Structure formats: C-alpha cells, structure tokens
A and B are shown apart, each in its own frame.
Chain A
Amino acid sequence: KQEVTQIPAALSVPEGENLVLNCSFTDSAIYNLQWFRQDPGKGLTSLLLIQSSQREQTSGRLNASLDKSSGRSTLYIAASQPGDSATYLCAASFTGTASKLTFGTGTRLQVTL
C-alpha cells in the first residue's frame, strides 16, 4: 500500500530559525510530490510541486527537495516568521495512479515570538 508519513506531528520553533519539515513515502515510483499549507478552519493552499524528474523547487523562503531513492522529501523554511504558523501537508502521486494524491497527516508548526 502506498503511504505517506510526516514526522513530527507538531513542531515549535522561535522566530527567525531555519527549519526542515520531513515527508517520507513507501513507493519509489512516485510521479510528483506536493506541499500544502493549511490554516486552522481553512482549506489547503498549494506551496510547491516537485515532479519526479526534479530534485528541488524553490519559492521565496521555501525550498522543497525530493529524493526518490530514499523515499523522502523535505520542506525547508528559511528565517521563520509567526505568520508561517500552520499545518504543512505533503501529498504524493504515484505512477499508475498519477491523478490521485496520497496525503500525509501533516506537521503542525508554531513559530513563537
């Protein structure tokens, strides 16, 4: 069964710190991987999408990497701010079921003053 795991479930860091969120997947036949942000009581907002042929994508202070051989993706957030506090979800699509996403359970991030 294709599974996506995110550890830890929650993380608290002081403002200004650089941080890494982790995502692991069980099937190396990944098609693409997406990172989303979810604020409390809201829907999901897409942050970055990495195709299987890519190793990383960047948007502003965010950088996502993909390592298919180890089954891992990381989301790096530089110079964290209180406004970054949210739940971050990763989701993978796999070859053969490329139109369907398998989600992790998310990491709840709190950036403190």
Chain B
Amino acid sequence: NAGVTQTPKFRVLKTGQSMTLLCAQDMNHEYMYWYRQDPGMGLRLIHYSVGEGTTAKGEVPDGYNVSRLKKQNFLLGLESAAPSQTSVYFCASSYEGVHTQYFGPGTRLTVL
C-alpha cells in the first residue's frame, strides 16, 4: 500500500496563478483532510470531506476550493494564488472521523 500520496511535492507560483494539489489514498478511508503548516502556527485545517461527493470548511477555508469526486482522491484548488498562501500543505485520511489520521508527505508551495 502506498498510503497517502500528494502531487506535486514542490511548486512555485506567481501571484494570481491557479493550481490544483492532488491527494490520493489507497486505504479505502472515508474521511480526507487538507491542512496547511506555517512556522509557529502549527497545522490548520483548510477543508475536509466525510465521504465521496462531500466537502466541508475547516478553520482557514478562504481562497481555497476542494472536490471529492472519487473516494480515493481529494483535490485542493487555489483559484488566484496570493503570497499569504505560501506554506506546506498536507493531506490526511482516516477510516472514520475519530480514528487515527494518516498523513501524506506534503507539498511545499511558494507564491511569489
């Protein structure tokens, strides 16, 4: 099992550009999450999904959109990137919401 994988690993964008981050899991988990990690602020939840076709807002959802068209995939979109979105983005999944979360390796995004 590959677990949770994220694509790409690194990306540099210019302000105003758009991009999509892909998260895939092969553990048949229902729940998937997107976090961002910034120095001194810990991990903050952006959006999450409790099953295929569902999405919900987390703590810091502004400027991001998500989609969960397939159970194994969770996409995070930035429509118009801003320097404040420079961060490391982590995807996670869990069997149910109260179970252990399994994390991907992260995507390091820089917005110039």
Contact = CB atoms under 8 A, between A and B. Distances in A.
A106 B41 CA distance: 9
A34 B97 CA distance: 13
Given A42-B105, A43-B106, A49-B100, A89 B90 contact: no
B101 A45 contact: no
B97 A99 contact: yes
Interface stretch (B12-20, B43-51, B62-70, B75-83): B43-51
Contacts of B74: none
B40 A32 contact: no
Interface in B92-112: 92, 94, 96-106
B42 A106 contact: yes
A95 to B, nearest CB: 10
Given A32-B98, A89-B42, A98-B97, A43 B31 contact: no
Grouping DSSP codes into helix (H, G, I), strand (E, B) and loop, the A interface class, with mixed when no group exceeds half, is strand
B39 to A, nearest CB: 9
A111 B90 CA distance: 26
B105 A43 contact: yes
Contact of B98 (A31, A43, A44, A105): A31
B58 interface: yes
Interface in A29-50: 31-32, 34, 36, 41-46, 49
A98 B101 CA distance: 12
A50 to B, nearest CB: 11
A101 interface: yes
Contacts of B90: 43-44
A46 B100 contact: yes
Nearest to A99: B97
A31 B94 CA distance: 16
Contacts of B102: 46
12 contacts: A34-B101, A42-B105, A42-B106, A43-B103, A43-B104, A44-B90, A46-B102, A93-B97, A98-B97, A99-B50, A101-B45, A106-B42
